[in-house]
Amino acid sequence: MLQVSRLNVFYGKSQALRDVSLKVNEKEIVALVGVNGAGKTTLLNTISGLLRPASGSVEFLGKRIDRLAPHKIMNLGICQIPEGRKLFSDMTVGDNLEMGAYSSAAWKRRKETLERVYKVFPVLKERRNQSAKKLSGGERQMVAIGRGLMSNPGLCMFDEPSYGLAPKLFLEVLEVVKQLREQGITILLVEQNVRNTLQIADRAYVLENGHIVLEGKGKDLLQNERVKTAYLGM
């Protein structure tokens, strides 16, 4: 479904991604793990079109998207769920969710999509007229996810959903992720919380200093010595 090939990305003169290649198949949960500053968000922003790669390509459903503007990429069915703090804090919860359905195809169906999102996160229905800045960390994450779902995406890219969440809440988020996959949405999950993430991932990549250093099945990587020492503290 998504094919990233030999991607090189720079910030000014410093290189953030080096020859990164990865693949996400339909209805998979693929994880991309690594420490802060490894280049995970950079990769997502490049796929979304916020950053331009110096070389390499990104293909989605067989079409090159690495030269498209962000809003065009979004319209193809890719959504990025930025970490929970990136809500529009001057707007209500309901308006934030509606912004997710901004693309014209999704806008027409926003009422029914909204009901579906409220079914996943009932608490958001109660809070729909509240200002987004008054929410707790968990609620913010729910709004961020719900806002992403409002575009009826085929591929959903999560950026660090554990950010600012208690461990228990993060496990709930991962449950939601699994549910979404059952509904047919493909998932690319970017995380620092390696153990829990690898447990639910079909396949995973490990990113270090802008390089992919390991890839494999999620469960296999949990047993990998390098992963164990570097990320699981064993």
Q: Which is nearer to another protein, 81 or 222 (CB)?
A: 81
Site for another protein in 19-48 (CB under 8 A): 48
Of 71, 109, 217, 226, which lies in the binding site for another protein, with binding defined by CB under 8 A? Answer: 71
Of 52, 64, 67, 69, which lies in the binding site for another protein, with binding defined by CB under 8 A? Answer: 69
Cβ atoms of residues 209 and 39 within 8 Å: yes
Sign of CA dihedral 111, 117, 120, 125: negative
CB of 133 to another protein, least distance (A): 10
Q: Is 70 in the site for another protein (CB under 8 A)?
A: yes
Give the whole-angstrom CA distance, residue 210 versus residue 226: 17
- For the record, the structure tokens of 112 come out as 């029914």
Cβ atoms of residues 30 and 24 within 8 Å: yes
Give the whole-angstrom CA distance, residue 219 versus residue 208: 20
Q: Is 113 in the site for another protein (CB under 8 A)?
A: no
Of 17, 20, 22, 98, which lies in the binding site for another protein, with binding defined by CB under 8 A? Answer: 98
DSSP class of 103: S
Q: Is 66 in the site for another protein (CB under 8 A)?
A: no
Find the helix or strand (DSSP H, E) in which 184 lies. none
Judged by the rule CB under 8 A, the positions of this chain that interact with another protein are 48-50, 69-71, 74-75, 79-80, 82, 86, 88-91, 95, 98-100, 102-103, 106-107, 147, 151
